[in-house]
A = this chain, B = another copy of it.
Amino acid sequence: MSRQERSIRTRAAILEAAARLFNEFGYEATTIGVLTERIGLTRGGLYFHFTSKEQLARGVLDEAVTVEGLRPQALKLQEWVDLALLIAYRLPREPILGAAIQLSVDPTVRGLFGTRWPDWIALQTEMLAEAKQRGEVLPHIDPATLARLFVGAWTGVQLVTGTLENRTLPDEISSLLDLLLPSVASDAVRTTLDTSPSRAVHLLAQARGSGDTCD
């Protein structure tokens, strides 16, 4: 492994550790001291990559909008469904995704760094507009409104699910999609959409196996 590769890996490990702390304790209660202790780095070693807690938060938010695993589908609406399922599958496995939500719901942090919600909304608006142009979405559905409401709904279902026992996020997001799609998709499209929670596993395996991701 080259020095550059090692540096990239260390940076990623720091960011993941910081994300775990943000998830566990929130931004305020997370300290650089606890972070360096947890990852076994000196402050100097950390400062080579991140010089402040603020930079760590920005680093988390920078990586929070991701389409890894997404692949072109015959139906554009299936890609929108896939994105929701992929993030639901990845979030419990990738601390950065959960940390970005934790940072976004903290009023102090939000005041400092903003949120990535506008980016998620823009991305989904674009996907839904294309799906609508292709006739996959019902005529009265406004892509921007649906994207806005769905980003909110997805986020809230994630937060509530995290506090409930015996509920997993992929199952809940799959149920949310099943609930919404009859109001969103044209009849012929709806019956062919796959909303099963396990779909994300296959999509990620395909993307990672082929080394081909949309990220």
State the A residues within 8 Å of B (CB).
23-26, 28-29, 102, 104-108, 110, 114-115, 117-118, 145-146, 148-149, 151-161, 163-164, 167, 172, 175-176, 179-184
Contacts and interface: CB of A to CB of B under 8 A. Distances in A.
Given A25-B107, A117-B163, A164-B148, A182 B182 contact: yes
Given A149-B176, A179-B149, A180-B183, A24 B107 contact: yes
Contacts of A161: 152
Given A149-B175, A161-B152, A108 B182 contact: no
A148 B172 contact: yes
A160 B152 contact: yes
14 contacts: A24-B107, A26-B108, A28-B28, A28-B29, A102-B107, A115-B163, A117-B163, A117-B164, A148-B160, A148-B164, A152-B172, A155-B159, A156-B156, A180-B180
Nearest to A163: B115
A38 to B, nearest CB: 16
Q: What does DSSP make chain A's interface, helix, strand, loop or mixed?
A: helix
Contacts of A184: 179
B117 A29 contact: no
Contacts of A117: 160, 163-164
A156 B162 CA distance: 13
A149 B182 CA distance: 16
Given A105-B106, A153-B156, 14 more contacts: A26-B107, A28-B29, A105-B105, A105-B159, A110-B163, A117-B164, A148-B160, A149-B176, A152-B172, A153-B176, A155-B156, A156-B157, A179-B180, A179-B183
